[in-house]
Structure 1
Amino acid sequence: MTGGIAAMTGKLGAFYTGQYRNVFLECGYSEAEIEARIRQTWHALFEGDEDTRIYYEAAGDKAYFLDTGNLDVRTEGMSYGMMMAVQMDRKDVFDRLWKWTMDHMYMTDGPHAGYFAWSCSPDGTRNANGPAPDGEEFFAMALLFASHRWEEGSPPFDYGKQARDLLRTCIHKGENGDGFPMWNPDNKLIKFIPDCEYSDPSYHLPHFYELFALYAYTEDRAYWKQAAAASRAYLKISCHPVTGLAPEYAHYDGTPNHDRGYGHFFSDSYRVAGNVGLDWEWFRGDAWEVEEANRLQAFFADKRPDDYRRYTIAGEPFEEKSLHPVGLIATNAMASLAADGPHARANAELLWHTPVRTGERRYYDNCLYMFAMLALSGKYRIWLPE
């Protein structure tokens, strides 16, 4: 079932009401048109030709998402694909992706045991033996939704236990000197990687943590509730107060982390807008999210997608063009779930009139595109136990 607690007021999010906005319907498109567009998008990514597809089946009832720009398989994409599959009620696709992930990415020894190697070759060979926490948090959420929506099976398809075990590892790893946790135990902020002490604003998913606080192991639930509050507070200090732009990497005090050149608004940062929109839609997380969505949309209102660039968070442009303009269109449209300013409808319309990206760089753009299409049609939902 979707939703949850019965509606009390119209000011509550979808978790409480069970009601999800269909922004495309509000824009005047019919339910049939919207449904067809969702199906077309799924087809392009999962079943389409080589110009659009990013999902590939493999031997042994497995499948992977290909990062077409880097020709590797990432925990980011695998977890995104699983979330798409559970939202679309495609258990077959979900299980294929999860089996590939467990067979090739799951680490059983060394300092990262219990996590997933963030990059592999399409043949399953690991390119790295370190994890990226954005994959782990999406794996956990997708698995919990799967456990609530479908019948569970034997390992690794005992979805709920897999999710709870992973969440426990993410916050308790290192307590016995066996590695590092993915969340800082003191400030409850997600790290960019476990063995660093800074964050990535786009990793912050307070709407997921609210649900982890309900379905993680009992002893871990208070931690996740604290993490949700900490993330909402962190987004406020890492997003620029005028432009709304966030850096790719930021210190725990919210200031941009310019090490290795990632202190500006670029590819990772795009996801902040979508996360803010979805947190508002699901939980009405913080009234600041409305202001943030309005600021972001206002910043881009006079800019053409073919001229999107890297920006300082204060809004100063670099010569470097955006690698993923379609992804930015998608996440700015997702911000319309929270925005109440003059640009909300225009951003949703822009996404509607933008096709999926084709060619070499399509992977990241089209992942964000699919999430935005689901969210703006009211189909990116919370799945709770029957």
Structure 2
Amino acid sequence: MKTESAFHSKQYRNLLKEYGYDETEINKRLEESWELLFSDKHPETQIYFEVGTNEAYMLDTGNLDVRTEGMSYGMMMAVQLDKKDVFDRLWKWTKKNMYMEEGVNAGYFAWSCNTDGSKRSYGPAPDGEEYFALALFFASHRWGDREAPFNYGEQARKLLHTCLHKGENGKGSPMWNLDNKLIKFVPGVEFSDPSYHLPHFYELFALWSVPEDRPFWKEAAKTSRNYLKIACHPETGLAPEYAYYDGTPNDENGYGHFFSDSYRVACNIGLDYEWFKDEKCPTDIAEKIQGFFVDKDPSNYRRYTVEGEPFEEKSLHPVGLIASNAMASLATSGENAKKCVDLFWNTPVRTGDRRYYDNCLYFFALLALSGNFKIWMPH
């Protein structure tokens, strides 16, 4: 029997509860994990740091910088749990320090800054922009719009419009290829990153962006679902970090293998299926990924070719991989799905220098598997 999507039913599966975990324990894990990441009482796991009276940043603890990826992730976590103060602090720091007012990338956000707010790069990374946009829409719908920069909905619409129309005046490039409707790795190149593909976000952009852009986003949702089918290996399900528009791995600089970026593909398929249950959602890829990893020792996860051959190099983010594979269970079923969720439940948040990326993916998985990664609709 085909169940309704969360978008239509407004019901979100608590997969952890379905698999026998106690609801009180699930809620406790969610609260404790938030504290571990967002409180200064836990320096070994903390990735959120407040600045002054009304700003904050998410620290990439492995690279000691602040990234649009982390800032947009933190905002999404905050809006899902109704943490308005945290959201506004992160957004204020982002707008003040990362937004580019001039130059070829004006209208985008600098993907990497130092903790003092100075820019390390004057280029954007599209995965930040797409998360910023949806987090802002959700904030607008949960809390209402206020004065700039807290006019969340307007900020989101303007940002998405820039992502598509940048370069029409001859300066800069859009973040999507307007012909094939695929997201680019960065605006100035013509290849993609499979983990950037968020068809479930684009379905919502097609409802809430400026009217002229809505048909594009509806098509982008379809093309992204199709793209994942050709970018992920037909037997292992593994995606390269970078891939050309025809789906073949782009290994020009060693990014043609399954490594850190690639982990997010499994999460994205899981959430896309939970939210929309589109028949084109490539759930078989999630099943193949889980099948590939289910019998492997997490302490020995590696970099892999997309065919599944291991390198000597170990995974930098094994906790993140565990979390992503568990989140895929929203789109799968059977023994492997449960094994992946059980492994996640029995894995603590990460400590140490590399904890940032792992713990972001960990928290997203915890939100999603507990039924708390929701679509916030307009009132």
TM range (shorter): over 0.9
Segment of structure 1 superposing worse, 135-144 or 17-26: 17-26
Alpha-carbon distance in 1 for matches of 2:252, 2:6: 39
After superposition, residues 225-236 of structure 1 pair within 5 angstroms as: 225-236=218-229
Instruction: Specify the alignment match of 1:40 in structure 2.
Output: 32
State the secondary structure of the residue aligned to 2:320. Answer: helix
Instruction: Specify the alignment match of 1:3 in structure 2.
Output: none
Shift of 1:176: 1.4
State the secondary structure of the residue aligned to 2:102. Answer: coil
One of 3, 9, 12 as aligned partner of 1:17? 9
One of 22, 25, 42 as aligned partner of 1:30? 22
Q: TM-score, normalised by structure 1?
A: 0.97
One of 145, 167, 183 as aligned partner of 1:190? 183
Listed one character per residue, the Cα deviations across residues 214-261 of structure 1 (whole Å, up to 9, x for unaligned) are 000011100100110110010000000100000000000000000110
Matched-pair contact (CA < 8 Å) for 1:41–1:370 = yes
One of 345, 364, 370 as aligned partner of 1:377? 370
After superposition, residues 273-352 of structure 1 pair within 5 angstroms as: 273-286=266-279, 289-352=282-345
Task: Give the number of equivalent residue pairs.
Answer: 378
Assess, with a 3 A threshold, how the Cα gap between structure 1 residues 288 and 84 changes in structure 2: closer, same or farther: closer
Listed one character per residue, the Cα deviations across residues 116-164 of structure 1 (whole Å, up to 9, x for unaligned) are 0000000001000000000000000000000000021100000000000
Alpha-carbon distance in 1 for matches of 2:31, 2:168: 45
One of 115, 133, 138 as aligned partner of 2:126? 133
Alpha-carbon distance in 2 for matches of 1:149, 1:238: 35
Q: TM-score, normalised by structure 2?
A: 0.98
Listed one character per residue, the Cα deviations across residues 317-352 of structure 1 (whole Å, up to 9, x for unaligned) are 000000000000000000000012420011111111
State the secondary structure of the residue aligned to 1:64. Answer: strand
**Unaligned 5+ runs, structure 2:** none
* Matched AA of 1:243: T
Shift >3 Å, 4+ stretches: none
Matched-pair contact (CA < 8 Å) for 1:258–1:264 = yes
RMSD over aligned Cα atoms: 0.9
1:153 aligned to 2:158? Answer: no
**Unaligned 5+ runs, structure 1:** 1-8
Shift of 1:316: 0.5
Shift of 1:91: 0.4
Matched-pair contact (CA < 8 Å) for 1:120–1:128 = yes
* Matched AA of 1:56: F
Q: Give the fraction of aligned pairs with identical amino acids, expressed as a percent.
A: 66
1:49 aligned to 2:28? Answer: no
Alpha-carbon distance in 1 for matches of 2:195, 2:263: 7
Alpha-carbon distance in 2 for matches of 1:73, 1:297: 31
Listed one character per residue, the Cα deviations across residues 46-67 of structure 1 (whole Å, up to 9, x for unaligned) are 0141100000000251000000
* Matched AA of 1:330: A
Alpha-carbon distance in 1 for matches of 2:307, 2:323: 22
* Matched AA of 2:172: G
State the secondary structure of the residue aligned to 1:261. Answer: coil
Matched-pair contact (CA < 8 Å) for 1:141–1:163 = yes
Matched-pair contact (CA < 8 Å) for 1:116–1:136 = yes
Listed one character per residue, the Cα deviations across residues 348-373 of structure 1 (whole Å, up to 9, x for unaligned) are 11111000000100000000000000
Instruction: Specify the alignment match of 1:210 in structure 2.
Output: 203
Alpha-carbon distance in 2 for matches of 1:12, 1:271: 24
Assess, with a 3 A threshold, how the Cα gap between structure 1 residues 34 and 82 changes in structure 2: closer, same or farther: same
Matched-pair contact (CA < 8 Å) for 1:232–1:285 = no
One of 252, 255, 264 as aligned partner of 2:248? 255
After superposition, residues 29-108 of structure 1 pair within 5 angstroms as: 29-47=21-39, 48-108=41-101
Instruction: Specify the alignment match of 1:268 in structure 2.
Output: 261
* Matched AA of 1:18: K
Instruction: Specify the alignment match of 1:181 in structure 2.
Output: 174
Alpha-carbon distance in 2 for matches of 1:219, 1:12: 29
